[in-house]
Amino acid sequence: MNKTAGRRRWRRIGDREAPAVESILRNREKFCVGASSRFLRRGERGNHVWVLDEAGHFNALLIHWKQSLFPVFNGNLNTPLPKFLSRFLFKVHIHSIQGLAQEEFSLEQGMSALGYDINESLDYDLMALDNPPERENLSAGPPGLIIRAPDITDMDALFELQSAYDREEVLPAFSQFNPAACRLNLEQIVKHERIMTADYGGRLVGKINTSAVSFTRCQIGGVYVHPDFRGLGIARRMCAEFSLNLFKQGWGISLFVKKRNTAARRVYSRIGFRSAADYRIAYFRD
């Protein structure tokens, strides 16, 4: 009998294991900013971090945050799922899973075997920026465009942009828009994340924010320009200035963009973002 195999088990981490888990995440940070940010907030009630312990070596992680699961399997597609997962899923509803495409799909298949049916899955390019954005992008956009932080008087206009963004880019096809949840999420973004707006002629026409912050990297999300003002270079200018500010503060930058969104991918490429991996999110019906 293989003694090592007998000591292979999933378990919830304690404070003593946290540094070893952090080391794993730091080594793969470019590919798992979202998972790393949830690890850093693991102490919040109702969230979990499990590790696959193989004779004292941690070879995979599974992070539960609110209604989402984040697999970090270190490229090992033969990672066994936790035996307790079926009991956990019986108690806690999971709305989505996300991560590197192959690792996410491995977990997705395992959950399907447990009776969780995927309602929608989306494929993304995971992109990274590790140098200042190309300077030509800092002068993009129409004359008079101002990229600035929002103030308290901007909340209603920001809500309109966030609502449109959620409907267009975030909500699965089967979900209904919830204005109260959207406003609460926006308030949390303004409170906890970095956010900037595009002001053109005294009107907010675009927004951008971080959606996760890990050890040395920020993840950009929430990039949205009102349809009436697209094609003017506003998104490019907004992303470039936002990225430059983060870069000056010492952050590396990541984001993921839908593979079918060729316009957005073109913008990010012009700024200097480069594809790093395939990313995937799967949604389950509420």
Q: Taking the domains of the chain in order of start, what are their residue ranges?
A: 3-116, 128-278
> What is the rounded distance in angstroms from the CA atom of residue 286 to the CA atom of residue 282?
13
Handedness of CA 243, 249, 250, 256 (dihedral sign): negative
pLDDT for residue 2 is more than 50: no
What residues are paired with 195 via a beta bridge? 209
Average pLDDT over residues 101-120: 89
Fold assignment, 3-116: Aminopeptidase (3.40.630)
> What is the rounded distance in angstroms from the CA atom of residue 285 to the CA atom of residue 108?
14
pLDDT for residue 97 is more than 60: yes
Residues 6 or more apart in contact with residue 60 via CB below 8 angstroms: 51, 52, 71, 72, 73, 74, 76, 79
pLDDT for residue 180 is more than 60: yes
Q: Which residue has the higher pLDDT, 271 or 80?
A: 271
Q: Do domains 3-116 and 128-278 have the same CATH topology?
A: yes
Strand positions, DSSP E, the chain: 8-12, 48-54, 57-65, 68-72, 96-100, 118-129, 146-148, 195-200, 203-213, 217-225, 252-258, 274-284
> What is the rounded distance in angstroms from the CA atom of residue 42 to the CA atom of residue 62?
12
The pLDDT of residue 83: 87
- Tell me the one-letter amino acid at 161: L
Average pLDDT over residues 252-269: 95
pLDDT for residue 268 is more than 80: yes
pLDDT for residue 286 is more than 70: no
Mean pLDDT score of the chain: 92
Instruction: Convert the pLDDT of each residue in 184-213 to its tens digit.
Output: 999 999 999 999 999 999 999 999 999 999
Average pLDDT over residues 135-159: 96
Structure tokens at 26: 């730091």
Q: Which residue has the higher pLDDT, 116 or 177?
A: 177
pLDDT for residue 144 is more than 90: yes
Instruction: Convert the pLDDT of each residue in 52-80 to its tens digit.
Output: 998 888 889 999 998 999 999 988 878 88
pLDDT for residue 1 is more than 70: no
Q: Which residue has the higher pLDDT, 216 or 285?
A: 216
pLDDT confidence band for 81 (50 / 70 / 90) = confident
CATH number attached to the domain at 128-278: 3.40.630.30
The pTM is what?
0.91
